[in-house]
Amino acid sequence: MKADVFRRRMRGAAWLPVAVLLAGCEPGAEGGFDRVSWRGEPQVPKAAFPDPPAVTPGTTVGATAARIVATNLPQGVTQAMVDQGQDQFGTVCASCHGQGGAGSPAAPALNDAQWLNITGQYPEIINIINVGVANPKQYPGVMPPKGGGSFDDQQVAAIAAYVYALSHQGGA
Ligand code: HEC
């Protein structure tokens, strides 16, 4: 952050004579200066630098994230399972699928109603967590069984409950 500000200052300094010329001596020269230095930034195509996965494997982010309050859960699925699944999602799954299932360059978002390999039904989600994805439809790497973690059936059911809740927000 500090380096960033420093760089911006340096870049700003380089533009100073131009800014002064453009802005003249009118009030509001500050604003003009800012805008000029911003426009001077090199335009780098976003795709050239994909963001790294949001979370390092092994870190727990789910526990601190806001709770999903699920509606229209499938039969036998409880809010307690969704909460438990959220904590476990943060330990392994978030390293590829992003915090809150927001997606990353390694794996698709799970917080919307769009699917690549399944239609989004609860049993399908349980199954794909258990078996992983050996032949991804779009993403470059595979998903190992259980995302490479070791979860028992109850834990997988809870993680699936969380993924179901994530992808059915808004009651759809
Ligand atoms: C090593 C990276 C990685 C980890 C860790 C991982 N996944 Fe995946 N996941 C993927 C990839 C890659 C796909 C398939 C994308 C494709 O088909 O192009 C996928 C697909 C899925 C799908 C199906 C999505 C769809 O649109 O078809 C679900 C659900 C899912 N993962 C849940 C999980 C859960 C839950 C965990 C944690 C237990 C987890 N994943 C851990 C990489 C990962």
Q: For each of the chain's 172 residues, which pLDDT tens digit applies?
A: 555 555 555 554 554 444 444 444 455 445 445 554 455 555 655 555 555 555 544 444 444 567 888 888 999 999 999 999 999 999 899 999 999 999 999 999 999 999 999 999 999 999 999 999 999 999 999 999 999 999 999 999 999 999 999 998 764 4
pLDDT at 15: 46
For ligand 1, atom 15: residue with the closest CA:
136
Q: Whose CA is nearest to atom 9 of ligand 1?
A: 143
Ligand 1 pocket residue status of 124, Cβ below 6 Å: no
| CB of residue 15 inside a 6 A radius of ligand 1 | no
Residue nearest to atom 43 of ligand 1 (CA): 143
- Beta-carbon contacts of 139 under 8 Å, excluding residues fewer than 6 positions away, are 105, 106, 107, 108
CA distance 23 to 27: 8
The burial of 48, by beta-carbon neighbours within 10 Å (0-12 exposed, 13-18 middle, 19 or more buried), is given as: exposed
To test the pocket of ligand 1, the residue of 60, 68, 84, 96 to mutate (highest count of ligand atoms within 8 Å of its CB) is 96
State residue 67's pLDDT score: 83
Ligand 1 in contact with 117 (CB < 6 A)? yes
CB 74 within 8 A of CB 30: no
Report the pLDDT value the prediction gives residue 79, as an integer from 0 to 100. 94
